[in-house]
Structure 1
Amino acid sequence: MNKSTLRSLALGFLASGILTGAYAIFFQGNVPIQGVTIPSVLNSSSATHEEELAQYRDEMSSLIAERNTLEENQVTKDEEIASLTEKNTGLENQIAELQLENRSLSSDGDGEQSETEDETTTEDSTDEETENSTSSTSGTFVISQGETSVDIASNLEAQGFVESAAEFQALLDEWGLNSIIQAGSYEISSDMTIHDIANEITHGAYYYY
């Protein structure tokens, strides 16, 4: 056989195989492989797709459930935050009320304390005035050499022995006692009248009945 004959024979076998396979597939529904058919291939592919779809549905349902859970948790947290905010506002209002009450009590306490202090001061002043009016001054009164009657009268008033230097000076002037007052130390007191003091510092030169 020459080459052209062999080539023709090979092409004939190839064409025969192609026609046989096409007939088996399109007319008999069989793939020219043992145990494999077109329906089985199609059914297998469809089952795989169904399984994948079912898996996707399950995953989608799981994701939706997780999303719903997260949303519910978020709502719960929002409610808790709102409740805490409301409680905080209530506490702030209570604190403000307590501060106002404290200020009011402090103001009342200061007012009462001020009134008490004023009353105490008034009582002390009254007591001092009473003591001053009732207490007497007694002691040694010194007349220095060369002092005038004006100086003596002023010193008597300054040391509390007489109430008025002018009144005592008027007495000295009226009775002409300015020149007969003698220097020295005299034991006198504010209980004595101006006449008694004048009698004392003149060594009895003046007497008054």
Structure 2
Amino acid sequence: MFTRYRRDTALYTNLINRNIQKKFDNLSKTELEFMSEVARADFINFVMVEEGFLYEENGEELAFDAIIYYIEEEPLRIDALLSEWIDVWSWKWKQRVKLVLQDDPSMVKAEQLLNQKLSPVIPRIKNYNWFRRFTLGSLINVNEVCFTNLLSDSIVKGALFKVAKTLPPDKVVEIIEKNPMFVIEEIVSRVKELKAFKGNLVVVRLNPKFFEERRERLVEWW
């Protein structure tokens, strides 16, 4: 089983790498590895939405299995999915991702405050994973297909922080549990704002050796 998984993972990685290299010239090995890591997760999320696995508990696993099946049994299907996705993904990478050599102190401070407020809250939100899956689907449906995990987490956390910034954790959990539509409406609003925003969303911090050390963060656009 483990040997089969390693084989399937290598098969999938090679497929994604080839498609990235068609869109980006002269990538170093470390650049390709980093982009491939992001792209593999993003394409699994895309297939999870396309194939109707979004709200399945093991949706990522089902999507991965579907990808491997298409590679081996239905190459035209995987070619159609990939050609549709990679064009948008590569465009979004160029539009959304900004490379920097050092962190913005104001962003670091804001992130620390958000984590401080939400760390005692998130484990107690029963619908947190559902909110995240809903956000994933909403993003992909408006062609925001790059860094989907990071964007989804950040949008959901931003929605929760709107309540958590002024209230104690117990009260935040109570409000969210009684009124999940507040979070859903906030997610929908933020996805619409994100779609309309045309600048960088993801900042990747790197050292002079390119991507050996990196840190991803969402740029605030609202």
Please indicate, yes or no, whether the TM-score normalized by the shorter chain is above 0.5.
no
Tell me the TM-score normalised to structure 1 length: 0.17
Higher relative contact order, structure no. (Cα contacts within 8 Å, ≥ 6 residues apart): 2
Greater Rg by CA: 1
Tell me the TM-score normalised to structure 2 length: 0.17
